[in-house]
Structure 1
């Protein structure tokens, strides 16, 4: 896991902005909590893969039922540095029992038409958050900032502050191998107060292995 700061930011969604061009576009979410503003940068496509292999793996659960929601309901708004271990607030796609990975599907970042890409899927959940004053988003990832007196380059608040790596952070074999770690995955978990339900979005790259050791490094497939 190296020097990554595994972080949870909980707060209210107040704005969003989606990139639809560039090598590695992101969906940016502006959160506010405990008197702070925080940008969540969500990858919508891989910047290191080409053609369809650049599409992310995606799963959304609109009725997310998992023990972590009980703990998240007690979390105050704001920034929280997380311990990468079980039985706390950390996420692990492979060990946490949060969803069946076989339900994940490839999804393009952005294309013409309604509800047919990752931007549309995130938009749908963010729209519900913006319409729900009591709604909350719990965003998991790697922290950057605060960037002294430099304004955030997307939303302009000062100082720039946020998280990225809002996806699975284990099973990497390439230049991102230093990001590997168990119990340090990113993700978006929404509390929709108006509907009294929890929703979640989980993302992974096609190049990541789903067989990892206790350090989050890929386990080589046995030779036949």
Structure 2
């Protein structure tokens, strides 16, 4: 047959017929073998989500580290260490040691910033106990006094844990420095609690420094 269409028109008009055109059938293409059993989901060349970052190495921090034996033991276990002591540390460190005067606020800030950025395993503080030592309450043996060993006097008491009255200028400076180190130790404890890591303090059992820490 032919395609025929009449349109409304006024006046002369001409009708035309279009000849039928036979179109060839499309060729049949057999799917390749690799396409006949295609998986429902094509695996992606890259992961849909980025992989998790590798865990940061745990850090052990030893404050007032002295010779650094504790840091050395952790290093032997493969734990990264941060050992800190004063620039005038009288011990010979067995590990790399960060020299910081932790009575100074700038040094305290540097250490806190370093620890905030670390994956902390534990913090250990060997708090200096000289001003809180109960040995000051015991008399020096006469033999030692005869050799010129002075008799130190107590710098703290149950009624005056932050320092007894009438201290000399030198004694007052020592007590104030130790008080500041104790206050900073409490700040380190707060950081450890916030980070969820272990925390320990080393001092003689009967040291007045425990009372100082409790009062900070």
TM-score between both structures, scaled by the size of structure 2? 0.21
Q: Looking at both structures, which has the greater relative contact order when contacts are Cα pairs under 8 Å and sequence separation is at least 6?
A: 1
Structure with the bigger percentage of strand: 1
TM-score between both structures, scaled by the size of structure 1? 0.20
